[in-house]
Amino acid sequence: MIHLKSVSKKFGSLAALTNVSLDIAAGEIFGFIGPNGAGKSTCMKILAGLLRADEGSASVCGLDVATRGPEVRALLGYMPDFLGVYEDLTVDEYLQFFAAAYRIPGRNGKRRATVDSVMALTDLQAKRHAMVDSLSRGMQQRLGVARVLLHDPRVLLLDEPASGLDPRARIELRELLLELRRMGKTIMVSSHILTELAEMSTSIGIIERGVMLFAGSIEEAFIRAGAGERIAVEFEASDTAPARAAEAATVIAKDQRVARTLVEHDQVIVELVPGKHSHHFILESLVTNGFRIASFTPRPIKLEDAFLRLTKGALN
């Protein structure tokens, strides 16, 4: 549905994108990750037809963006990172205006029905008569999503839609995006909130200084980053001395399935080599060596871990 091949883009002497290639399949939520200035917005603008690549090609639904722009725009909804709104309109007037711009006919009530259905989907019915400038940041973001849904696009490009939202608004936006995926939409969404992307994305891309460092599933990102599952082991009271915990870490570290161990206060954090492993060998090894276990708690791998390991933290 979305395809970039060897795309490069410069602004003067600044290389915004360098040889970026990417494929996103139908029905995916693709989480686009990178620091400010990494090239996320530039990629989206090229796909939306707002910028032209210096080199390479971009296509949406099999259509080349550079040569078949009008057809691509009919299939695509783009929401920029900063949503400009007409503040002297009500929510209903705002959506009616854009529905007319999308050439949705007003006769036979089609435009009215389209606006009503989009407001229902984005839960904006109660704000129908509210002025746009009176909306909260979260409601304005919902309005932005509603606007790009008016012409029923197959592909959505959402640039930082959760920026500035409070926790409840972010959760509601995440649920909306998951519902849009269930409706068959393909979604490319950028965000700095990695925990939210991890919860809803089917695949991710990590970009830094215009270079695509990784694109694939979250599990593949963990493997590429060398981030394995972690286990926190705590010991019974008689075994809680830091020296005893350090001794336990040394015992566990001898196994080839263990990538590293870390002593935190009186507990041991065990990171496994990436891949599928049973945890039982850790317990068996410790019990065999006379350690008494108080708790044994798996710690989920975080997307932040993979991001930090795959990126260098360099700024443009």
CA angle 174, 176, 182 (to 5 degrees): 105
pLDDT given for residue 150 in this prediction: 94
pLDDT given for residue 315 in this prediction: 39
Task: Tell whether the model's pLDDT for residue 34 goes beyond 90.
Answer: no
Task: Tell whether the model's pLDDT for residue 316 goes beyond 50.
Answer: no
pLDDT given for residue 94 in this prediction: 94
pLDDT given for residue 247 in this prediction: 86
Please check whether the two domains, 2-224 and 228-300, share a CATH topology: no
CATH of domain 2-224: 3.40.50.300
12: tokens are 């003067």
Residue 147: band (very low, low, confident or very high) from pLDDT cuts 50, 70, 90 = very high
Sequence spans of domains, the chain: 2-224, 228-300
pLDDT given for residue 227 in this prediction: 67
Alpha-carbon gap, residue 40 to 247, rounded angstroms: 46
Task: Tell whether the model's pLDDT for residue 292 goes beyond 80.
Answer: yes
- Phi first, then psi, for residue 249 (nearest 5°) are -60, -40
The percent of residues in the chain predicted with pLDDT above 70, rounded, is 94
pLDDT given for residue 100 in this prediction: 93
How many Å is the maximal CA-CA distance in the chain? 81
34-38, 78-82, 289-293, 296-300: least confidently modelled range: 296-300
The percent of residues in the chain predicted with pLDDT above 90, rounded, is 49
- Phi first, then psi, for residue 200 (nearest 5°) are -120, -15
Pair 34, 307: CB distance under 8 Å: no
Instruction: Give the residue with greater pLDDT, 195 vs 114.
Output: 114
Alpha-carbon gap, residue 251 to 260, rounded angstroms: 12
Sheet containing 63-64, strands listed edge to edge, beginning at the edge strand earlier in sequence: 14-24, 2-11, 55-60, 63-64
Alpha-carbon gap, residue 157 to 249, rounded angstroms: 47
Instruction: Give the residue with greater pLDDT, 266 vs 161.
Output: 161
The string of pLDDT tens digits covering residues 125-145 is 999 999 998 988 888 888 999
The string of pLDDT tens digits covering residues 153-209 is 999 999 988 877 888 888 888 899 999 999 999 999 998 878 888 888 999 999 999
Task: Tell whether the model's pLDDT for residue 242 goes beyond 70.
Answer: no
What number is the average pLDDT over the span 247-266?
85
- Name the average pLDDT for the chain: 87
38: tokens are 């990494």
pTM over 0.85: no
Residue 11: band (very low, low, confident or very high) from pLDDT cuts 50, 70, 90 = very high
pLDDT given for residue 276 in this prediction: 61
108: tokens are 């036979």
Name the CATH architecture for the domain at 228-300.
Answer: 2-Layer Sandwich (3.30)
Residue 79: band (very low, low, confident or very high) from pLDDT cuts 50, 70, 90 = very high
55-69, 157-171, 233-247, 259-273: least confidently modelled range: 233-247
